[in-house]
């Protein structure tokens, strides 16, 4: 009788343990479902905007030499440029999540075009991240290597393909419930990025600098901050 009772209690413990494991796995599945990714993608878009402003501030305060700066200040200058490039890589990292989250918002009006735009966005983000980290490593060499970035020559990734993503994505978002003003801001960001790419092709440093300031300090952060809040709200 005791043996039977012990066996029954063991079976009950096994059933309880199995139910606990199932509940734990079910909670894990809920954490990594599409809804949670959309919310995280929205958060990534917001962090992208905040990181963009931090990068612009770093570039303006730490990465630009003063006209009468002594030679000892160049060490701080190299450190400031490394911080700026690291933040630039972090922007591209956040974009990986944000671009995929936007795909789920725009695919309802064009599955194939949305998928194509997402491939472009992920490629541009990954290459921009690699190019920025390459610059961080390059600044640590003595002397730094000269030449164009092998991952982002003439800004083809950070300006060219990123601008193409903005074009396709906002053409699709125009057909959704996304606010028209936000989509128009996306078109402005697209024009600015493509202008920066043209500036890189034509070796117009002034145009590249102007496009970088507009995209990094004004249009881009506002766009992603607004879109990130929509992604989190509309899940």
pLDDT tens for the chain, 235 residues long, are 444 455 656 555 555 555 565 556 555 444 678 889 999 999 999 999 999 999 999 988 887 766 666 666 666 777 888 999 999 999 999 999 999 999 999 999 999 999 999 999 999 999 999 999 998 888 887 777 777 778 889 889 999 999 999 999 999 999 999 999 999 999 999 999 999 999 988 888 888 888 888 888 898 999 999 999 999 998 8
CA distance 52 to 220: 8
Spatial contact of 101 and 35, defined as CB atoms under 8 Å apart:
no
Spatial contact of 220 and 165, defined as CB atoms under 8 Å apart:
no
pLDDT of residue 9: 61
pLDDT of residue 61: 87
Angle between helices 180-201 and 220-233 (to 10 degrees): 140
Query: Rounded to the nearest 5°, which phi and psi values hold at 145?
Result: -70, 145
pLDDT of residue 10: 57
């Amino acid at each position: 009788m005791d043996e039977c009772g012990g066996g029954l209690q063991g079976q009950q413990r096994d059933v309880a343990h199995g139910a606990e494991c199932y509940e734990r796995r079910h909670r894990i599945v809920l954490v990594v479902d599409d809804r949670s990714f959309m919310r995280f993608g929205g958060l990534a878009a917001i962090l992208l905007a905040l990181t963009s402003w931090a990068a612009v501030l770093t570039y303006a305060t730490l990465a630009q030499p003063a006209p009468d700066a002594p030679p000892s200040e160049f060490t701080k200058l190299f450190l400031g440029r490394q911080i700026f490039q690291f933040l630039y890589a972090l922007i591209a990292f956040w974009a990986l999540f944000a671009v995929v989250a936007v795909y789920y918002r725009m695919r309802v009006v064009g599955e194939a075009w949305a998928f194509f735009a997402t491939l472009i966005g992920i490629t541009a983000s990954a290459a921009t991240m690699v190019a920025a980290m390459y610059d961080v490593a390059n600044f640590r060499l003595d002397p730094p290597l000269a030449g164009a970035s092998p991952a982002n020559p003439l800004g083809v990734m950070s300006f060219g393909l990123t601008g193409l993503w903005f074009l396709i994505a906002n053409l699709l978002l125009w057909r959704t419930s996304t606010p028209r003003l936000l989509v128009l801001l996306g078109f402005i960001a697209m024009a600015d990025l493509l202008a920066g790419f043209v500036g890189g092709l034509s070796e117009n440093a002034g145009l590249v600098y102007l496009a970088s300031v507009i995209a990094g300090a004004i249009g881009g952060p506002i766009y992603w901050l607004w879109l990130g809040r929509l992604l989190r709200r509309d899940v």
